């Protein structure tokens, strides 16, 4: 009985102790100070996607200048697209007159060649027969020539017959024409008729370049068979390269011969190429309601290749257009942008800080002035005297401020993760 009484007493004391500790903790929690990691007077603000914030100190350090969209008297243009091409007389396909084995190739792709330069040497045994026919005709002509001269003398002395004279004259003309034709064939193959007449028979003939230019694709190989009518290589002379632009019906009446054209290569936006309209087709192209306009390039460069796609800005007069300095436009991912001051974000920024001050937040430091920028996509036009025509793809305020110098720095910042903090 004593043992049981002791256990009951001990159990009751334990319960009372636990309850007392719990009540003490609850009462003490209401008066204990709450631990906080927040700094006095500091609150995180919501971010604005695509907005870049720079302090005045950063603006001065980078050299960013602000300005406005100006109205400039720039050239009015018709925008068209097309491809670079060369006239037919400045391109050549190299063929052989008769089939033969390619024995030697003297050029490589990309090599510049001159007119008359030997490109390939082809061997053809049929040429031996052609030269033999020429020697036979040349040898037999001496007899025909002698007979013709004899009949001429008899006719002058009224001793011969008219029939014999006519026959001699016909044979003379026929043999002479045959020799001329064979000499012409030998000349086409590049074989000297006088050397053949002297007994020099050749089996290999040279194939020469018909124009000056650059060797393109070579399809022949040493030892391969060259067939007549099948090109073994091509030559292109880019010195006369021009652009074939497509102008649609609505703009066709504005286009005149002699108008200036500024070209932009599709893969080289920063390069400006000047040209001039010299021809306008008189028929529509493939039912597209577009007409091909030909523009000569004034200073063709070595990097211009037929088939390149170009955009042409054809000057048709002058007009007042929205323009900014060329340095204000940046290009990224095939698009063009400007950076404008984001007044909306600026107002929200100021309002947030006013609300913080009203709530009694403590500011231990002086608020540094900052400017917020956002990127706006634009379409560009003609550029003149350091300015470029722009058309924003979204509506902007009339008095909007934009970056006129240092836009490249903002573009480098915007290419990383977008940040906006105070």
The pLDDT tens digits for 48-70 are: 556 888 888 888 888 889 999 99
Q: Which of 236, 258, 282 is the last residue of a domain?
A: 236
Read off the pLDDT of residues 299-309 as tens digits, 9 standing for 90 and up: 776 678 888 88
Residue 322: other Cβ atoms inside 10 A: 17
We report the CATH number of the domain holding residue 280 as 2.40.30.170
Q: What's the CA gap between 133 and 102, in Å, rounded? A: 24
Strands 335-341 and 290-297: unpaired
Q: What's the CA gap between 316 and 294, in Å, rounded? A: 16
**207 shares a domain with 175:** yes
What is the domain extent for residue 386? 51-71+323-359+367-414
Look at residues 78, 208, 15, 103 and name the one whose alpha carbon lies nearest to residue 7. Answer: 15
**283 shares a domain with 270:** yes
**The total number of structural domains that make up the chain:** 3
State which H helix or E strand residue 325 sits in. Answer: strand 309-325
- Residue 115: the pLDDT is 93
We report the CATH number of the domain holding residue 383 as 2.40.420.20
**330 shares a domain with 285:** no
Q: Which of 216, 236, 256 is the last residue of a domain?
A: 236
Tell me if residue 150 falls in helix, strand or coil: helix
Tell me if residue 58 falls in helix, strand or coil: helix
Residue 168 — very low, low, confident or very high, per pLDDT cuts 50/70/90?
confident
Q: Which of 185, 219, 236 is the last residue of a domain?
A: 236
**219 shares a domain with 283:** no
Q: In the numeric block, which tokens belong to residue 376?
A: 């706006």
Q: Domain for residue 25, yes or no?
A: no
Q: Are 169 and 148 in contact (CB under 8 A)?
A: yes
Read off the pLDDT of residues 356-370 as tens digits, 9 standing for 90 and up: 555 555 454 455 678
Q: Is the pLDDT of residue 344 over 50?
A: yes
**Torsion sign (Cα): 409, 415, 417, 419:** positive
Look at residues 336, 341, 306, 330 and name the one whose alpha carbon lies nearest to residue 409. Answer: 330
**105 shares a domain with 224:** yes
Tell me if residue 359 falls in helix, strand or coil: coil
**295 shares a domain with 172:** no
pTM above 0.75, yes or no: no
3-state helix, strand, coil in the chain (%, to 5): 30, 35, 35
**398 shares a domain with 265:** no
Q: Domain for residue 353, yes or no?
A: yes
Q: Domain for residue 378, yes or no?
A: yes
**345 shares a domain with 217:** no
Q: In the numeric block, which tokens belong to residue 32?
A: 């204990």
Tell me if residue 253 falls in helix, strand or coil: coil
What rounded mean pLDDT belongs to the chain? 79
**179 shares a domain with 312:** no
Q: In the numeric block, which tokens belong to residue 394?
A: 């979204």
**What are the strands of the beta sheet with 118-123, ordered from one edge?**
204-208, 118-123, 100-105, 225-226
Q: Domain for residue 161, yes or no?
A: yes
**307 shares a domain with 336:** no
Q: Domain for residue 376, yes or no?
A: yes
Q: Domain for residue 270, yes or no?
A: yes
| 363 DSSP assignment | -
**255 shares a domain with 193:** no
**381 shares a domain with 284:** no
Q: Domain for residue 351, yes or no?
A: yes
Q: In the numeric block, which tokens belong to residue 6?
A: 């002791």
Residue 270 — very low, low, confident or very high, per pLDDT cuts 50/70/90?
low
Q: In the numeric block, which tokens belong to residue 264?
A: 């932009």
Q: Domain for residue 201, yes or no?
A: yes
| 35 DSSP assignment | P
């Amino acid at each position: 009985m004593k043992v049981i009484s002791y256990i009951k007493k001990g159990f009751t004391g334990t319960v009372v102790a636990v309850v007392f500790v719990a009540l003490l903790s609850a009462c003490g929690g209401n008066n204990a100070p709450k631990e906080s990691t927040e700094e006095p007077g500091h609150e995180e603000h919501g971010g604005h996607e695509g907005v870049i914030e720079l302090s005045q100190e950063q603006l001065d350090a980078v050299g960013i200048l602000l300005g406005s969209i100006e109205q400039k008297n720039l050239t009015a243009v018709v925008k068209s697209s097309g491809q670079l091409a060369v006239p037919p007389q400045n391109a050549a396909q190299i063929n052989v007159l008769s089939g033969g084995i390619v024995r030697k190739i003297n050029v490589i792709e990309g090599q510049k060649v001159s007119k008359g330069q030997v490109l390939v040497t082809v061997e053809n045994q049929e040429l031996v027969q052609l030269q033999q026919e020429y020697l036979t005709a040349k040898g037999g002509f001496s007899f025909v020539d002698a007979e013709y001269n004899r009949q001429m003398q008899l006719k002058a002395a009224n001793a011969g017959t008219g029939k014999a004279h006519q026959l001699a004259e016909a044979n003379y003309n026929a043999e002479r024409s045959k020799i001329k034709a064979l000499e012409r064939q030998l000349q086409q193959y590049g074989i000297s008729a006088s050397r053949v007449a002297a007994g020099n028979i050749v089996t290999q003939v040279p194939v020469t370049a018909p124009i000056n230019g650059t060797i393109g694709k070579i399809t022949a190989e040493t030892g391969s068979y060259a067939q007549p009518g099948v090109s073994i290589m091509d030559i292109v002379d880019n010195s006369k390269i021009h652009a074939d632009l497509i102008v649609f019906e609505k703009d066709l009446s504005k286009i005149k011969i002699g108008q200036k054209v500024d070209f932009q290569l599709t893969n080289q936006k920063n390069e400006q190429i000047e040209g001039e309209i010299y021809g306008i087709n008189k028929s529509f192209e493939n039912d597209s309601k577009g007409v091909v306009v030909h523009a000569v390039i004034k200073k063709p460069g070595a990097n211009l290749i037929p088939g390149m796609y170009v955009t042409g800005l054809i000057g048709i007069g002058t007009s007042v257009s929205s323009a900014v300095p060329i340095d204000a436009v940046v290009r990224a991912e095939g698009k063009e942008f400007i950076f404008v001051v984001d007044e909306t974000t600026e107002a929200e920024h100021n309002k947030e800080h006013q609300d913080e001050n009203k709530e009694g937040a403590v500011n231990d430091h002086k608020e540094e002035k900052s400017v917020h920028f956002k990127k706006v996509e634009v379409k560009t036009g003609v550029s003149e005297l350091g300015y470029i025509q722009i058309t924003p793809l979204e509506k902007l305020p009339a008095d909007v401020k934009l970056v006129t110098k240092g836009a490249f720095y903002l573009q480098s910042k915007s290419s990383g993760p977008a940040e906006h903090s105070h």
